[in-house]
Amino acid sequence: EPEVTQTPSHQVTQMGQEVILRCVPISNHLYFYWYRQILGQKVEFLVSFYNNEISEKSEIFDDQFSVERPDGSNFTLKIRSTKLEDSAMYFCASSDDSQLVDTQYFGPGTRLTVL
C-alpha cells in the first residue's frame, strides 16, 4: 500500500537554528500539505502546495516558513530561525485531487523539539 514517508522521525535543534523537514509524498499525488500539532493541541493546517507553488497558507505560515519541492519526489518544510514555540509534530500529507478528501494521506510525522 502506498504511503507518505517523513524524515527524520525526531529532530532536536537549538533555538535560532534552521531546520528542514523532509517528506516523500505518494508518487502519483499532485497536492501536498504540511500540518503541525503542538503537544496536546489540535492539528493545524500550515500550507498546501500544487504545481510548484503555494496554493493556500494559514496565518501560522509566516516568513520564517518555506516549502519546496526540490526534485520529483521530495517535499520539504524549512523553518529559518526556530523558536521554542515551534516544537510540535509536523505532518506531511499528499492527495491526488484537492476536491477528494478521501485521497489525502498523512505521513507519520516528524517530532521537532526546539531547545
Partner 1 sequence: QKEVEQDPGPLSVPEGAIVSLNCTYSNSAFQYFMWYRQYSRKGPELLMYTYSSGNKEDGRFTAQVDKSSKYISLFIRDSQPSDSATYLCAMSVGNQFYFGTGTSLTVIP
- Which residues contribute to the site for partner 1 (CB under 8 A)? 4, 31, 33, 35, 41-45, 48, 55-56, 58, 91, 93, 98, 101-102, 104-109
Residue 85: CB minimum distance to partner 1, A? 18
Q: Which residues contact 102 (CB under 8 A, 6 or more apart)?
A: none
Residue 1: CB minimum distance to partner 1, A? 12
Q: Toward partner 1, which CB reaches closer, 16 or 59?
A: 59
- Going from the C-alpha of 22 to that of each of 61, 67, 77, the distances in angstroms are 17, 10, 7
* CB of 36 closer than 8 Å to CB of 52: no
Q: Toward partner 1, which CB reaches closer, 61 or 82?
A: 61
